[in-house]
């Protein structure tokens, strides 16, 4: 039904300190049923050659087996050939089991309770390959599995889009503070604000005329590196009242 493999033991697969090579999937790279590239570790190609057994293939499910156990993510073509980390399990479904269905099945509250109840360890929970193989599996027919997996994946995609919007909007908000306080944007207007002098400067508490935004200011180029401004808008403008 499903081939289960635990990640390799030892430092060879840790990938610590390498900035290039073969990516290693660790629990921190499994989030919201997806593989995320944030804080990826890498193994040098020579070392990765000795870990071919732990290479991931499209259609596999990578699953956490320590800490917050049972979180799964689908391995896609993008991740083909990446390595399974020590603290993860690789689930390779057979023809009768849809990978997307399996991911959401693992997240079911009753399944999570079963996994936690059967995991070893007192301080840090740990899930063995043998325990995962013993997991009771509710198996609808293939067509129903695919429909369930597709419906839940579509919801996950919407959640991912909203999360990108949230992060980009947050970055934009943080960028507006220095934008408003730059000397080049100060303009005479009623009211007073604190002077935009360096923190601790003796004169930093003097009052200066309050600033108004200029007629049209684009802030898209001021966003932090990696922020997708297009998610919010191509340009943000502020107009005089």
> Which residues have C-beta within 8 Å of that of residue 236, sequence separation ≥ 6?
172, 218, 219, 220
Residues 129, 185, single domain; the answer is no
Q: How distant is the alpha carbon of residue 2 from its chain centre?
A: 26
Please provide the size of the chain in residues.
241
| Mean pLDDT along residues 69-90 | 94
Residues 13 and 43 in one domain: yes
Q: What pTM did the predictor assign?
A: 0.65
Considering only CA atoms, which of 57, 55, 82, 67 is closest in space to residue 27?
Answer: 67
**How far apart are alpha carbons 128 and 47 in whole angstroms?**
25
What is the per-residue pLDDT across 150-159, written as a single tens digit (0 to 9) for each? Answer: 888 777 777 7
Mean of the per-residue pLDDT values of the chain:
78
Partners of residue 31 on adjacent β-strands: 34
pLDDT at position 207 is 44
| Residue 124 scores a pLDDT above 90 | no
Q: Are residues 173 and 68 part of one domain?
A: no
182, 133: one domain: no
pLDDT at residue number 200 = 53
Comparing CA positions, the residue from 55, 44, 57 lying closest to residue 18 is: 44
Question: Is 239 part of any domain?
Answer: no
Asked whether the predicted pLDDT for residue 30 surpasses 70, the reply is yes
Please tell me whether residues 76 and 192 are part of one structural domain.
no
Residues 94 and 31 occupy one common structural domain: yes
Is residue 100 within 8 Å of 153, Cβ to Cβ? yes
Report the run of H or E that residue 25 belongs to, with start and end: strand 22-25
Look at residues 46, 48, 30, 49 and name the one whose alpha carbon lies nearest to residue 38.
30
> Is the pLDDT confidence value at 237 over 50?
no
**Are the C-beta atoms of 61 and 75 separated by less than 8 Å?**
yes
130 and 188 together in one domain: no
The single-letter DSSP state of residue 104 is H
Mean pLDDT of all residues in 116-132: 89
- 148 falls within a domain: no
The pLDDT of residue 96: 94
Whether residues 119 and 46 share a domain: the answer is yes
**Measured over all CA atoms, what is the biggest interatomic distance in the chain, rounded to whole angstroms?**
74
Tally of CB atoms within 10 A around 107: 14
Name the pairing type of β-strands 41-43 and 22-25. antiparallel
Distances (CA, A) of 231 to 164, 167, 169, 235: 8, 10, 9, 11
Integer CA distances (angstroms), 93 to 59, 62, 149, 200, in order: 8, 11, 14, 62
Report the domain count for the chain.
2
| CATH number of 95's domain | 3.90.220.20
Please check whether residues 59 and 24 belong to one and the same domain: yes
Residues 29 and 97 in one domain: yes
Residues 93 and 207 in one domain: no
pLDDT at residue 227 tops 90 = no
**Domain membership of residue 116 as a residue range:** 2-139
For residue 139, give Cα distances in angstroms to 30, 88, 89, 93, 144. Answer: 24, 24, 21, 12, 9
Q: Are residues 165 and 120 in the same domain?
A: no
């Amino acid at each position: 039904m499903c081939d289960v493999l635990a990640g390799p033991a030892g430092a060879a697969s840790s990938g610590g300190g390498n900035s290039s090579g073969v990516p290693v999937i660790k629990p921190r790279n499994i989030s919201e049923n997806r593989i995320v590239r944030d804080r990826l570790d890498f193994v040098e190609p020579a070392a990765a050659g000795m870990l071919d057994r732990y290479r991931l293939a499209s259609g596999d499910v990578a699953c956490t087996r320590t800490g917050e156990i049972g979180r799964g993510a689908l391995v896609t073509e993008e991740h083909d050939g990446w390595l399974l980390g020590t603290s993860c399990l690789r689930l390779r479904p057979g023809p009768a089991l849809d990978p997307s269905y399996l991911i959401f099945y693992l997240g079911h509250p009753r399944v999570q309770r079963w996994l936690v109840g059967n995991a070893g360890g007192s301080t840090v929970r740990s899930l063995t390959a043998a325990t995962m193989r013993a997991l009771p599996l509710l198996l609808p027919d293939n067509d129903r599995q695919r429909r369930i997996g597709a419906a839940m994946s579509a919801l996950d995609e919407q959640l991912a889009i909203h999360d990108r919007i949230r992060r980009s909007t947050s970055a934009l908000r943080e960028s507006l503070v220095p934008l408003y306080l730059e000397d080049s944007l100060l303009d005479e207007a009623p009211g007073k604000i604190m002077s935009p002098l360096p923190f601790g400067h003796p004169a930093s508490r003097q009052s200066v005329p309050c600033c108004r935004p200029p007629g049209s200011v684009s802030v898209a180029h001021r966003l932090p590196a990696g922020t997708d401004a297009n998610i919010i808008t191509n340009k943000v403008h502020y107009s005089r009242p």
